[in-house]
Amino acid sequence: MSWFFPAMPECNSCGDCCGPVTATATEITAIRGFVEAHGIAWTEHDDPLTCGFYDRAEQKCRIYPVRPAACRMFGVVDEMPCPHFPDAASVSMPIHRAIQLGIMNPEDRLLSESFGGTPGISLEEIQLVGMLTARGRPAHG
């Protein structure tokens, strides 16, 4: 799905947006193949909300080539602005449009659920936060 979105031009790989993200079944299959081929395991961080595929020491995503659309959208779409470079967002992609296009699906699950991690937050809690922030720009940290 990367062809839907331009690269985030200002990204410094700080990982501040690498929290709990969802993935489609197709994305999970691709990620599973990638991690098996490269011997990558989900890693728990001190901060339970940090994605287990984020390498804090190297400041990089360990599954970058197959990261979910949700990660590709962050900082690029107006609805998911980077907290550090909010002006870098250049494409509008509301969640309902992403679902219409099949980029996301209502039954998507958290990466942590599929790769043996301990979810620091439930999908229901994320959806609640999304509802609470739907009238303004989403809160990130």
Applying CB under 6 A, the span of 6-14, 36-44, 100-108, 131-139 interacting with ligand SF4 comes to 6-14
The phi-psi region of residue 116 (left if phi > 0; otherwise alpha if psi is between -120 and 50; otherwise beta) is: left
Indicate the residue among 11 and 123 with the shorter CB distance to ligand SF4.
Answer: 11
Residue 55 in 3-state DSSP?
A: strand
Residue 84 in 3-state DSSP?
A: coil
The phi-psi region of residue 102 (left if phi > 0; otherwise alpha if psi is between -120 and 50; otherwise beta) is: left
Partners of residue 60 on adjacent β-strands: 55
* Residue 54 binds ligand SF4, judged by CB under 6 A: yes
Q: Using CB under 6 A as the criterion, what x/- string covers residues 70-99 for binding ligand SF4?
A: -x--xx------xxxx--------------
* Residue 18 binds ligand SF4, judged by CB under 6 A: yes
Binders in 20-39 for ligand SF4, by CB under 6 A: 21
The single residue among 4, 15, 43, 114 that binds ligand SF4, judged by CB under 6 A, is 15
Q: Which two tokens stand for residue 111?
A: 């990466």
Give pairs for 91-95: CB < 8 Å, separation 24+: 91/5, 91/6, 93/4, 93/5, 95/130
Applying CB under 6 A, the span of 16-24, 39-47, 92-100, 124-132 interacting with ligand SF4 comes to 16-24
Number of residues that bind ligand SF4 (CB under 6 A): 23
**Residues in CB range of 126: below 8 A, 6 or more apart:** 20, 22, 110
The single residue among 11, 121, 123, 126 that binds ligand SF4, judged by CB under 6 A, is 11
Tell me which residues touch ligand SF4 (CB under 6 A): 8, 11-18, 21, 51, 53-54, 61, 63, 67, 71, 74-75, 82-85
